[in-house]
Chain A
């Protein structure tokens, strides 16, 4: 009896790590936008939902090969991010933060209903089943391993972009001081657009990975959107490493909580943990207390 239990436990822990990779990718995109532009995209998960539909239509309906469909899907969501910034955020840059939050809330409504009207409310999936990897008594789907690997690769790419390229350095500088950078002759407007496109492309990558594992429907964003915000707040909004740590912590809580009971209780535990942490570390996990 004890041995079976241990294998379940190990499987849950590894599942949690795999989930953590994807959550960390989700949190990275949102953190990037927040850290650089100081705006929260409430509709972030809905961009991902559109990306999931994008890949579904390209691959399963129009038969575009996967190696072409995935980059196309990433580009589509990147353009959506660009448009979101250009149309909605830019006119509101000087408005109260709450107005920015609400405007992206409006975009959330819009994208959700757009998907309902255009794609319908049926659950859809790619129709490909990746094989299951069995190690001893434990079972993992290749889809999850692939998602984990691609999420890590995406994060490494963003890290390299931010540290090794001129534009990346400028983006990091602008996150530190908005006013000074404009005085230094940096075109902040262009950098904001680049950042939005980058945030969008991360959402696009996440979309491609999620649609491998889950069905897509217009309200799918609600199932992982809130958790992404919580991870970002828990890690400290705009704090990349904090978000990374928080993503794995959350994934473990969900996965282990789900082991003892239903998956919803895993979420409830994670939410409760979040509120508890707000008592203890209101500025985020890794923030130094002033």
Chain B
């Protein structure tokens, strides 16, 4: 994706123009979901592409959603302030977990399992504080009586589509920003060999913490947006281990090393789930995850670079 390529600008213009021409609410709803989850998956892949496989992102997403909603309901604090606060909380949480992990060289399996504990904690805390969070029954931000803009609550899908599109585009921009930065070279060196990277003068712990906190903060934003859009959150849909695994799964399917990979993953998984839901009706319960599971195993066995990653690789080969 070269910004000088006119096709990119054309595609961007088409995406922005879409809700003004096409207003079918269900299709727009699916698009908003795809955009929000694409942003979350992109946030995950920011660290996932460097071999930092976190299973704790369900936790960060849960913090983003619940902190925003709780501040609004209990403190009357507008999401315009609540969302940044939620992002800061997720960043602090990431710091608390990431610092000892990286300081003591907890990598690979261990890192995945420690972060797994984190999403477990967030899920249990939400469930345990059911007097305030509604527990496993879920939680609804109160409908605003005043201005919709101050409360960040919009009834129409078009506005939400544009918001989600903007945030998603920012996510892709951040991906490129990291891709072009020194941090990327440092992180690639670290993922190859930590000792060698450290000997070359890279502050291994610091670089890893930076990328982890960035990824966590973005994931919290995705959680907060999801909460504001759906106006209903439950521990199982925004936090916990299944959400974490779902992120990993979508990114692996789309392609972990390319900028649009997570987006392709979101399109494939959400279309699959929605298609099955419409096709099978109530019988669909379970079938989507059944297919996810089989696909995830097949992808890792046969196509570890993901759909988009493999396609781009093939194109690069034929171009030579």
Contacts and interface: CB of A to CB of B under 8 A. Distances in A.
B97 interface: yes
B242 to A, nearest CB: 7
Contacts of B294: 106, 110
A106 B125 contact: no
A110 B293 contact: yes
B116 interface: yes
Contacts of B121: 268, 271-272, 275
B108 A278 contact: no
A223 to B, nearest CB: 10
B128 A278 contact: no
Contacts of B296: 102-103, 105-106, 109
B288 A113 contact: yes
Contacts of B104: 278-279, 282
Chain A interface, >50% SS class: helix
A226 B117 contact: yes
Contact of B109 (A113, A121, A237, A268): A237
Given A222-B242, A226-B116, A237-B110, A106 B128 contact: no
A64 interface: no
Contacts of B285: 116-117, 121
Interface string B79-112: 0000000000000000011001100111011101
B249 A106 contact: yes
B193 to A, nearest CB: 14
Nearest to B110: A233
Nearest to A109: B293
Nearest to B252: A102
Interface stretch (B61-69, B225-233, B297-305): B297-305
B287 A109 contact: no
Contacts of A97: 108-109
A226 B245 CA distance: 13
Interface in A70-126: 88, 91-92, 95-99, 101-103, 105-117, 121
A115 B118 CA distance: 26
B117 A274 contact: yes
A187 interface: no
Interface stretch (A8-16, A19-27, A175-183, A259-267): A259-267
A267 B117 CA distance: 11
A218 interface: yes
Given A99-B300, A109-B289, A278 B106 contact: yes
Interface in A27-86: 34, 40
Interface in B264-320: 285-290, 292-297, 299-301, 304
A106 B106 contact: no
B51 A218 contact: no
Interface string A213-240: 0000010001001110110110001000
Given A98-B53, A102-B252, A264-B127, A113 B289 contact: yes
Nearest to A265: B128
B124 interface: yes
Interface string A149-176: 0000000000000000000000000000
B202 interface: no
B56 to A, nearest CB: 11
Nearest to B99: A279
Query: Which of B108, B110, B288 gathers most chain A CB within 10 Å?
Result: B110
Interface string A235-272: 00100000000000000000000000010110110011
A47 to B, nearest CB: 14
A92 B286 contact: no
B113 interface: yes
A124 B128 CA distance: 24
B241 interface: yes
Contacts of B40: none
Nearest to A38: B109
Contacts of B242: 222
B300 A271 contact: no
A267 B110 CA distance: 20
B286 A116 contact: yes
Contacts of A226: 116-117, 120, 241
Contacts of A92: 300-301
Contacts of B53: 98, 101-102
Interface of B: 51, 53, 96-97, 100-101, 104-106, 108-110, 112-114, 116-118, 120-121, 124-125, 127-128, 240-242, 245, 248-249, 252, 285-290, 292-297, 299-301, 304
9 contacts: A40-B113, A102-B249, A103-B301, A111-B293, A230-B117, A232-B113, A265-B128, A271-B121, A282-B106
